[in-house]
Structure 1
Amino acid sequence: MTEQDVLIVGAGPTGLVLALWLTAQGVKVRIIDKNSGPGPTSRAMVVHARTLELYCQLDLASAVIEAGHRNPSVNLWAKGRAKARISFSPTGATLTPYPFVLVYPQDHHERLLAARLEALGVKVERQTELVGFQDADGRVSAHLRLPDGSEEVSITRYLAGCDGARSPVRHKLAIGFAGSTYNQTFYVADVDASGSTANGEVHISFDSSDFVALLAYARGRGRLIGLVRDERENADRLTFEDVSHRAMDRLRLTIERVNWFSTYRVHHRVADRFRHGHVFLLGDAAHVHSPVGGQGMNTGIGDAINLAWKLAAVLKGQAPDSLLDSYEHERIRIARQLVATTDRLFTFVTAESRFADVSRVEIAPILAGLAFRIGRVREFLFRILSQTQLNYRSGPLSRGTAAGVKGGDRLPWVDMAGRDNYQPLTAITWQVHVYGTPRDEMRDWCGARGVPLHVFPWTRAHGTAGLAADAAYLLRPDTYVALAAEKQAPELFDAYLAEQGITLS
């Protein structure tokens, strides 16, 4: 019989990030996975800007960027003609330190995360399977099957189900997984390729009744994602030669070698609950959706970082157990919103009719090119794709407004002469930001509670980003704004913390 604070089931990116963030905050974790090693294929590919921002908390961003491949542009093609080249850099560079689409295969990503976790003293326990659990008397008794076939009982305060779309944890809890499966079958292929479009950028090619996307993860190497248009009962036995090559041929792409090929059906589902007693669902165990926009893995990582600081606070006695209810409230709304958005895009890409073909091939690429010439449209679309627009404004932990920033918002990023306001966010801690002149009362309040106070001399750039001069922003350990206060009034901060039952020392 073993004991720990949190038992994590599943060692994909979501589970590994949860283990990393908890361990960094002094929480004793155990992470198990029924497989013998990290996934051998490059399933999820895209790491978005918001994930990289959060990765700075554990000095992961630079390592991921160095190992991955920056795609500077997205190119739209229709019937073999280049229709639009969309670059996010001009707009994104004012919004985030990471104004690009980073392609980093999931198998490599998992190995990096597991190595970082092992360096902190926690090793993934492979070929270890959860066979059952009981949640009673303030703890969870988890029954595990070990690699040699023997069984063990592991006692834990909390259990985190990061065990994928078929989650045994979710099934054990009998939590509904509302949604359905799309009729269409997709294929994915990791390939070595040559040709003018094997240039290290993203290319999306539309043709009549055909579609393919190329995500480059090196020059001459990438992933093809396409649609199997005709319904086939034996879709799981298809090979690369069986699928339509019309759209990829239109990219003037020569496939030199197929390193991996698979087909799959796409689901869109969200669990009815993300918390049940001392058990939580995260990542694909809680929500699955179409791969449009590469949002899935990033959303699971967001789940993990949202939950990690809350679990740490409760386990350290700095917050009541009710704080953990905010995990479901904040993340289930985002999951539902994401499923609805990707569902609309998926329907547009896969619809079969003459009108749908004309819309995809003739109209959409032209409109996309024109829209991206409009700054506000370009910014809006970048924020959606990069997940920098995600917020918890309606959440139970969000209070106040100061200029354009509300409680629950991602803190706007501002870079001034090489010193940006995200540098202090590398610490997983509560902190206060003042853009302007701090009052003595605010300094005293922060000093008495051990809360870091970060002061940035006011500039016009701060106002452009939506911040208010001389306002005070209380930031959560996951870098979102908890309280935005136009006036530096310590009593507002005390009232907020008392309402949530949070202590900061």
Structure 2
Amino acid sequence: MLPERTDVLVVGSGPTGLTVAATLAQRGVDVTVVDRLDRPPVTSRAAVVHAHTLEVLDRIGVAAPLVPRGLPSQRFTVRDRDRMLLTVPFGTLPSRYPYALLVSQAQTEAVLAERFTALGGRVLRPYEMTGLTPDAAGATVHFADGATVRARWVIGADGMHSTVRELAGIRFAGPADRGESFLLADVRVESVLPRDQVALFLARQGPLVWAPLPDGVVRLVATVPDAPRDPDAQRFQALLDERGPARRPDRVTELLWGSRFRIHHRVAETFRAGPVLLAGDAAHVHSPAGGQGMNLGIGDAVALGETLAEVLAGQPDTLLDEYALARRPLAEEVAGFADRLTRLATMPPAGRPLRDLLLRTVSAMPSARHRLALRLSGLAQRAAG
């Protein structure tokens, strides 16, 4: 049952919502989390937690229980079929987590939910937000069942199609096209590819991400012109045949689940409108190339939770404007980085020899590879996180 009042109402219980809720609860804040779904999804897009994100999660007691559920990856590779174009090593990262943790988003959410529960919180389901009435002292939030909640602050962590963002009247800037179409799946494959590294295959038809997960599972993500609603194993086999290893091709032996999604490259015009605050996909969306989206959202969440806790403890609410001003440029930079990776992958045949030469040159320069590792891991943003 919904409370009549709460200090902070978090709408959305994905990684961003759970992270901000746990951050606030750890500081003793009265926080309520609602979600429109009656149960957490068991399938999800994100499959990597980067080093900086693990450092951030360590601040709320989540990194230690999460690491054993994942597979540490020592490097990120870029390939054109059988040709290795670039290797980015993570082993020399200046972090207590010198790797990328390959773990299903569902597992990340489960650990975050366990931490929030241990702090005395719980997610209230299913509650669909239908209205928002802000005023000088907070906001009244309306739900489809007729209930209302009075909150001093409302956090939109409800994803790309955020109801909070729309009701707050915050514009979601980006191209007006239909966005990129993606297929994704968890599969079992017979493959000669190493199981301790992520591979980004560049192909004229679009990029293919090959990411190993625990228990012999591989996450596949690929851009396609028009993704079918229910992709089958043959569809993913065709993608591997078209873009993956050629001399010793992968063979899909089992499709655990498959889905589709569409992504626009968009960033909210502001992350704060009065008592309404945005984080994660509600504030920014972009290509999954580089595995940056969920990581950026978790960074938003801890920064926002820590800042909001200070405001509730008596600090001026202008600190929240500083949060918004600091996080939005990061979102634009990450969106641009993911877009550049996607454009590299889809470069026309005439430009591919130069692209491949450039990547091999970078791969031969230790300092350049280290800078790229810092960028992918999020550690280059440490000062802002």
TM-score w.r.t. length of structure 1: 0.71
Q: CA deviation at 1:201?
A: 2.5
Matches within 5 A, 1:389-408: 389-390=380-381
Corresponding residue for residue 47 of structure 2: 45
Give distance in 1, aligned partners of 2:137 and 2:179.
43
Q: CA deviation at 1:238?
A: 4.5
Corresponding residue for residue 199 of structure 1: 195
Corresponding residue for residue 241 of structure 1: 234
Determine if contact 1:215/1:223 at 8 Å carries over to the other structure: yes
State which of 319, 323, 326 in structure 1 corresponds to 2:322.
326
Determine if contact 1:72/1:87 at 8 Å carries over to the other structure: yes
Aligned to 2:258, the other structure's residue is in SS state strand
The alignment of Structure 1 onto Structure 2 pairs a total of residues equal to 378
Give distance in 2, aligned partners of 1:125 and 1:139.
21
Corresponding residue for residue 135 of structure 2: 136
Corresponding residue for residue 302 of structure 2: 305
Corresponding residue for residue 262 of structure 1: 259
Aligned to 1:154, the other structure's residue is in SS state strand
Q: CA deviation at 1:66?
A: 0.8
Corresponding residue for residue 347 of structure 1: 343
State which of 371, 376, 392 in structure 1 corresponds to 2:362.
371
Corresponding residue for residue 172 of structure 2: 177
Q: Which structure 1 residue ranges, 4+ long, deviate > 3 Å from structure 2?
A: 81-86, 181-184, 206-211, 234-240, 356-359, 366-370
Corresponding residue for residue 157 of structure 2: 162
1:411-432 deviations in Å (ceiling 9; x for gaps) = xxxxxxxxxxxxxxxxxxxxxx
Give distance in 2, aligned partners of 1:3 and 1:384.
41
Q: CA deviation at 1:377?
A: 0.9
Determine if contact 1:140/1:158 at 8 Å carries over to the other structure: yes
Determine if contact 1:200/1:219 at 8 Å carries over to the other structure: no
State which of 65, 68, 73 in structure 2 corresponds to 1:63.
65
Q: CA deviation at 1:219?
A: 5.8
Q: Over the residues paired in the alignment, what is the CA RMSD in angstroms? A: 2.1
Determine if contact 2:88/2:372 at 8 Å carries over to the other structure: no
Corresponding residue for residue 283 of structure 1: 280
Give distance in 2, aligned partners of 1:337 and 1:85.
22
Matches within 5 A, 1:29-108: 29-89=31-91, 91-92=92-93, 95-108=94-107
Q: For the structure 1 residues 386 and 105, does the alpha-carbon distance in structure 2 shift closer, same or farther, using more than 3 Å as the test?
A: same
Matches within 5 A, 1:490-501: none
TM-score w.r.t. length of structure 2: 0.91
Give distance in 2, aligned partners of 1:344 and 1:240.
29
Determine if contact 1:371/1:378 at 8 Å carries over to the other structure: yes
Q: For the structure 1 residues 195 and 238, does the alpha-carbon distance in structure 2 shift closer, same or farther, using more than 3 Å as the test?
A: closer
Determine if contact 1:42/1:105 at 8 Å carries over to the other structure: yes
Q: CA deviation at 1:83?
A: 4.8
Determine if contact 1:198/1:221 at 8 Å carries over to the other structure: no
Aligned to 1:389, the other structure's residue is in SS state helix
1:452-493 deviations in Å (ceiling 9; x for gaps) = xxxxxxxxxxxxxxxxxxxxxxxxxxxx6xxxxxxxxxxxxx
Q: For the structure 1 residues 144 and 185, does the alpha-carbon distance in structure 2 shift closer, same or farther, using more than 3 Å as the test?
A: closer
Determine if contact 2:130/2:143 at 8 Å carries over to the other structure: yes
Corresponding residue for residue 219 of structure 2: 223
Structure 1 stretches of 5 or more lacking a match? Answer: 392-408, 411-479, 481-505
Corresponding residue for residue 270 of structure 2: 273
Q: CA deviation at 1:334?
A: 0.8
